[in-house]
Amino acid sequence: MKQHPTVDGYLTYDANDFLADEYFQEWVKYNHPETAMFWQQLQELHPEKKKVIQEAFDLLSSMRFKTRTPDESRTRRIWEYIDVHTPEHNIRHINWHYKKMLAAASILLLIVLGFWQWRKTQFIYKDTAGSEISRILLPDHSEVILNANSRLKYAKDFNTNNKRELWIEGEAFFSVKPFTDGEGKSQPFIVHSTDLDVLVTGTAFNVYARRQLTRVVLNHGRVTIQFKNNRETARQLLPGEMLEYNETKKSLLQQPVDTLLFTSWKQQRFIFTNTPLKEVAQIIEDFYGCKVVFKDQELASYKITAEIDAPDIASLDTLLSKALNIRVTKDGNTLILESKP
């Protein structure tokens, strides 16, 4: 929209011209008030155009595109490869002489650093496979229950140097033991996710960090949430509250919830209350590490209320099919849902 369009400019347009017109397309897609006003006015001034405009509008508004984005593990794999191959410092523009000295110095430095690194911050990784839930006892006797398809990372020297730090991808429930150092100061316990940090004293809470979404549910105790971006200020959560943050959508929500619903996975149980099938599908994808596809889009909006023990993946399709009276077919790692004819 470089120049503002005028009504007169459109008088010679037929349906095809409208279809391909940028300003017209903007109207159909976004329906901004000022755009809508322009097109309303045009139709009032020139009622003979109403029919073709309506026709073009109908066709454009009925176009939908199917999307397929990479799953979480693929995205992670792609990034890990890029991460390794994009070193933070490259010594490209330095002359030879200097380079040799630098090389010698850096080898020395590397040896020292490497040793230091090896001693100080070697990480322990705990990974869970699809439908696997594992219980991890940390050196400070805090407990982590790690949901399926998740990864927990912490330093080998966790709990020394007054630092208790963990990194989570996926979902986990934390029961934190209060811990004081020699001088009686309580030692912080920090859980990092991609977009935010949870600061804790003695507390039990759940962190969900998948699909660009981080959700923290606090069962008891007290936590402080700090955001990695600097737009949001730190927030405190009270017991029974949930905080949900989506970095891409920039949405932030804090509200009281039934904590049981968010931690039932620890007992390998799914609880759904009026949950759209689309969300159920996401939960299945997260837990089993498979893909769920809707052949009929209207299925996605079906609401489900149920409380079930997580079945093993082999009987998942029969269970879904019976419970929802739909057809479920399995294709490799993908479940295809469609309504019965």
Partner 1 sequence: MENNGINEDQERWLAFQTGDKDALAYFFNTFIGSLYNYGLKFTQDEDIIEDTIQDLFIRLWTTRKRLSMPASVRNYLFKAFRNLLFRKLSKLQKTSKYESEYIFLDVELSAETNHINAEQQLIRDKRLENALQQLPHRQKEAIYLRFYENASYEEIAQIMGTTVKACYKNVFRALSYLRETLITVITYLFFRLFFLN
Interface positions with partner 1 (CB under 8 A): 15-17, 19-20, 22, 25, 29, 55-56, 58-70, 74-75, 77-79, 81-82, 85-86, 88-90, 212, 247-248, 297
Beta carbon of residue 79, minimum distance to partner 1 (angstroms, whole number): 6
Beta carbon of residue 17, minimum distance to partner 1 (angstroms, whole number): 8
Beta carbon of residue 106, minimum distance to partner 1 (angstroms, whole number): 17
Dihedral, CA atoms, 260, 265, 266, 267, nearest 10 degrees? 90
CB 293 within 8 A of CB 337: yes
Ramachandran assignment for 281, one of left (phi > 0), alpha (psi -120 to 50 degrees), beta (any other):
alpha
* Order of strands across the sheet that contains 334-339: 291-294, 334-339, 326-331
Indicate the burial class of 18 (C-beta count within 10 angstroms; 0-12, 13-18, 19 or more): buried
The residue written with tokens 């330093």 in the block is 155
> By C-beta, is 85 or 97 nearer to partner 1?
85
> By C-beta, is 22 or 307 nearer to partner 1?
22
Beta carbon of residue 168, minimum distance to partner 1 (angstroms, whole number): 17
> By C-beta, is 3 or 274 nearer to partner 1?
3
Q: H/E element holding 280? A: helix 277-288
> By C-beta, is 75 or 334 nearer to partner 1?
75
Beta carbon of residue 252, minimum distance to partner 1 (angstroms, whole number): 18
> By C-beta, is 315 or 340 nearer to partner 1?
340
Pick the closest to residue 166 from 139, 148, 202, 186 (CA basis). 139
